[in-house]
Structure 1
Amino acid sequence: MLNYWNARIYLKMGNKWYLLFSRINRDEHRKTFYRIADSPDGPWMICRDAEGHHETFDGLYLYAGKTASDGTTRYLSGWCSTGQTVNNNNELPWAGNLISHQLVQGTSGQLYPKIPEALNSKFNKEVAFEKLSSVGQVSESNKTYRLSAQSGGRSYALFNRNTSTVKMTMTIDASQSNQFGFSFGACDDPTEVYSIAFDLTSSNRWNMPALLMNKEARNGGGSKTALNFTPLTVPTNRIFNLKISIEKSICVVYVNDRVAFTNRIYKMDQNPWTIFVDQGIVTVNGLKVEKSS
């Protein structure tokens, strides 16, 4: 298959040169990519280190990314498609909302996306939240949640709906689990939800740890269709510090200042949401919901 590149950008950070481009192929890899070199003449390579290879910034829902700097910090801005699923041409609609990530350069030259500091600090007024119900093995103590499930089952805690733009933060200890995440659009009868799933194995179709956005029937108990994915960097201690930015139908998940995952979920707006585990045990600490003051 031919690769069609669009919106090429050349830039230098530190002693490394970068080539950024977007693939316009009608497949699961229509994303913004980058290559790295020691010279503007190349050769252009995929950045590889002990954590794996680094060549994208996000999933399918951040497209046509361009970079800009304020002289100190570099940002990547792209478009989150207004579409939730691909059209008859096997591609997401081109119209969208602007999304920006802050870029951090790693020691090997890799570029990591994180939540921009201005956006992170803007959300500083805590919002009360409530666990409405739970299914399976879920315990709670001082806003710390422990969820346990056997393979093939799902335990989850259901939380009240968010009625405004918010940032959610939490730490998840997944030292005893490979599969967990969040689901949105969890109505009173959660027959159809959209999940942000952490798969720490390499047993999925991408053969690597991944973040996936799935359309699920019966809250994980029925059919499951993957709509989006991005590679996931798994730390040795398997502890994940998360910041989740939610505005109406747009959800951006930031993981350990290493991974960004943008999605469009129309059922998310003003519907309850869940934390779930599909295998093993996860512990959720420091859950906080904040809005702009």
Structure 2
Amino acid sequence: MREFFYRPDNAWVGDVIPYYEDGEFKLFYLHGWRENYQEGLDHGWYLVGTKDFVNYRADGACKIQGGTGHVLKVGGTYHMFYCIFPPGKQLVCHAVSSDLKTWEPIPEHTFAADDHIYELSDWRDPFVFWNEEEGQYWMLLAAMAKGPTNRKGCTALLSSKDLNTWEYREPLYAPNLHVGAHECPDLFRIGDWWYLIYSSYTGRFATFYRMSRSLEGPWLAPGEDTFDGRAFYAAKSVSDGKKRYLFGWNPTKDDDLFGWNPPKSRGQDYHTWDWGGNLIVHEIVQRPDGTLGVKVPDTVDAAFSQPLPVQYQGITGEWTIADQSLSCDSPYGFAGCASREELPEQCKISARISFSRETQGVGLMLRTEDTLDEAYYVTLEPQRNRLTFRGKIMQSEEGGKTFPYEVELERPIELVPGRHYEIKVFIDGTICEIYVDESIAMSARMYDIPRGKLGLFVSQGHAEFSEVRIDARLVG
């Protein structure tokens, strides 16, 4: 079965450069061949079109060999800004097109970092927009500012009146937080707030955002300043005029691209994350206080709406089971139940969950079996106000001794006893996309348990599950 979350044939999706026009999202992306690369094949920018994030049309290579950048239209001309990496350098390049397919580079517009403000080592991922207040274009870049420490990662700023010549300016945002450049910068406005997005692979590995009432700053870090966890990266956004969407990739653990896999690993879930994977799209949601959350796009949600008949059986603990509602009181231990049917390779699981004040953990077991010995656990942990993901690694002596973290993935979330939380989990082969309350997202991968049932559990407390459904993907 073809994967639901897009990737090209025999290759992978890297950084996405989204553009919207005439009712279609035109998604440029870096094409990751990996071991399938063959001499003579283009491996730079590719283009794919979609109107709904469900059906995609591959338009092929753009003949641009370079890294992440930006596309904008001025008059009847499309402008592409991107980066290249000659030995020891990083340079910004400019190309133009009349149809988004055939691009003509302008070599004389290529430029490097300014050696007085920025380090020459990092100068990539240009993002360009028209600043109405100044009456000129601004360019943001992933860069390293001059400074006394290695915490030089910044969002560089340049300005231009014609898109041809650029003036170097002090960084837009240089917080001395990261020892790596602020990758894939993006900037947009919703209401009274400006939002700056960037990705970092040092300190924390994620796509971050900052917010400000003015382009002059200050750029505020909200209490939770990321959109997703470790398995979602290099995200950039675009609006269709009504909603804004965030495009990133869920990395694989297939190829050991950096040679960091444990030498005696017994399972693929132990492996390190690769560069590139499958395209993941979140819809950005602005909360009343101006902070941002993300939800599953409506079209993706609707693509999984074929309900499957499911019956549940209690495995441990005293469960009350009635149709799509289940509850269990287990104040002193773990209690779990499981479906009698196996989960499809592609499906959506949805439920409303509430819990009592003393509850330590409650959630879903993905691909479990009747003994509940192994599963992927999606857990709400009220005592720690977090959503966690644990795989097979943590359920064995080997994992307990060798895996250096308590959990594999986690996201902060305020968890209030007695309140109902809506959870949606999308499974597509090894891909797992988790959403809570149309506000919190967590991407994951599942390799070592290829099939199994749906389980529900509560640990040291009381929980109620309602509107529990398993929906298959609509095809056709």
Q: TM-score, normalised by structure 2?
A: 0.54
Q: Which residue type is aligned with residue 14 of structure 1? A: G
Q: Which structure has the larger Rg over C-alpha atoms?
A: 2
Query: Which runs of structure 2 are paired with 1:263-274 in the superposition (5 Å)?
Result: 263-274=444-455
Deviations 1:169-219 (A, max 9, x none): 2111113424111222323554433211111123xxxxxx1111123316x
Separation in 2, partners of 1:34, 1:68: 15
Of 388, 394, 401, which aligns to 1:212?
A: 388
* 1:127-162 per-position Cα deviation (integer Å, ceiling 9, x unaligned): 1122245212222123311123234x2101112321
CA shift, 1:109, in A, is: 1.0
Q: Does 1:183 align with 2:365?
A: yes
1:254 matched to 2:403? The reply is no
Residue equivalent to 1:205: none
User: What residue in structure 1 maps to residue 219 of structure 2?
Assistant: 44
**Alpha carbons of 1:156 and 1:75: their partners in 2 closer, same or farther (altered >3 Å)?**
same
Q: Which residue, out of 318, 330, 336, partners 1:156?
A: 336
Q: Which of residues 172, 187, 192 is equivalent to 1:10?
A: 187
Contact 2:247 2:281 in 1 (8 A): yes
Match of 2:188, as an amino acid? L
Deviates more, 1:273-282 or 1:236-245: 236-245
Separation in 1, partners of 2:325, 2:430: 27
Query: Displacement, 1:292?
Result: 2.8
Q: Residues 294 and 440 of structure 2 are in contact (CA less than 8 Å); yes or no, is this contact kept in structure 1?
A: yes
Give the aligned residue type for 2:390: N
Q: What per-residue deviation string (whole Å, max 9, x for no partner) do you get for residues 217-252 of structure 1? A: 16xxx8884111111133574310112211111111
Tell me what 2:245 maps to. 75
Identical-pair percentage: 25
Unpaired stretches in structure 2, ≥5 consecutive residues: 1-149, 152-177, 262-270
Alignment partners' CA distance in 1, 2:468 and 2:259: 37
In 1, are the aligned partners of 2:350 and 2:425 still within 8 Å (CA)? yes
Structure of higher RCO (CA pairs closer than 8 Å, 6+ residues apart): 1
Secondary structure of 1:211's match?
Answer: strand
| Aligned position for 2:199 | 22
Residues 1:72 and 1:175: Cα distance change in structure 2 (over 3 Å): same
Q: Is residue 2:233 matched to residue 1:63?
A: yes
Q: Secondary structure at the match of 2:283?
A: strand
CA distance in 2, matches of 1:235, 1:133: 26
In 1, are the aligned partners of 2:197 and 2:208 still within 8 Å (CA)? Answer: yes
Partner of 1:65: helix, strand, or coil? strand
Distance 1:168 1:194 in 2: 13
Shift of 1:91: 5.6
For the Cα contact (< 8 Å) 1:73–1:102, is it kept in 2? yes
1:62, distance to aligned residue in structure 2 (A): 0.9
Taking the aligned partners of 1:40 and 1:99, their CA distance within structure 2 comes to 29
Secondary structure in 2 matching 1:266: coil
Question: 1:10 deviation in Å?
Answer: 1.4
Of residues 16-25 and 126-135 in structure 1, the stretch that sits farther from structure 2 once superposed is 126-135
Contact 2:382 2:416 in 1 (8 A): no
Higher strand share: 1
RMSD over equivalenced CA pairs, Å: 2.6
Name the CA shift for 1:194/1:87 in 2 (closer, same or farther; >3 Å). farther
Tell me how far apart the structure 1 counterparts of residues 356 and 370 of structure 2 sit (CA, whole Å): 31
Q: Residue 199 of structure 2 contacts residue 235 of structure 2 at CA under 8 Å; is this kept in 1?
A: yes
2:304 alignment partner in structure 1 = 123
Counterpart code for 1:199: E
Number of residue-to-residue matches in the alignment: 277
TM-score using structure 1 length: 0.85
User: In the alignment, is the contact (CA less than 8 A) between 2:349 and 2:426 conserved in 1?
Assistant: yes
Corresponding residue of 1:171 = 352
Q: Deviations over 1:91-143 (max 9, x none)?
A: 62212111111111111111110110111122222111222452122221233
Q: Which runs of 5+ in 1 are unaligned?
A: 48-52, 203-208
Q: Secondary structure of the equivalent of 1:148? A: strand
Structure 1 residue matching 2:305: 3-state secondary structure: strand
Q: Say whether the 8 Å CA contact 1:87–1:93 is kept in structure 2.
A: no
8 A Cα contact 1:163 1:269, kept in partner? no
Secondary structure of the structure 2 residue equivalent to 1:270: coil
Q: Is the contact made by 1:179 and 1:279 (CA closer than 8 Å) also made in structure 2?
A: yes
Once residues 61 and 120 of structure 1 are traced to their aligned partners in structure 2, the CA distance between those partners, rounded to angstroms, is: 20
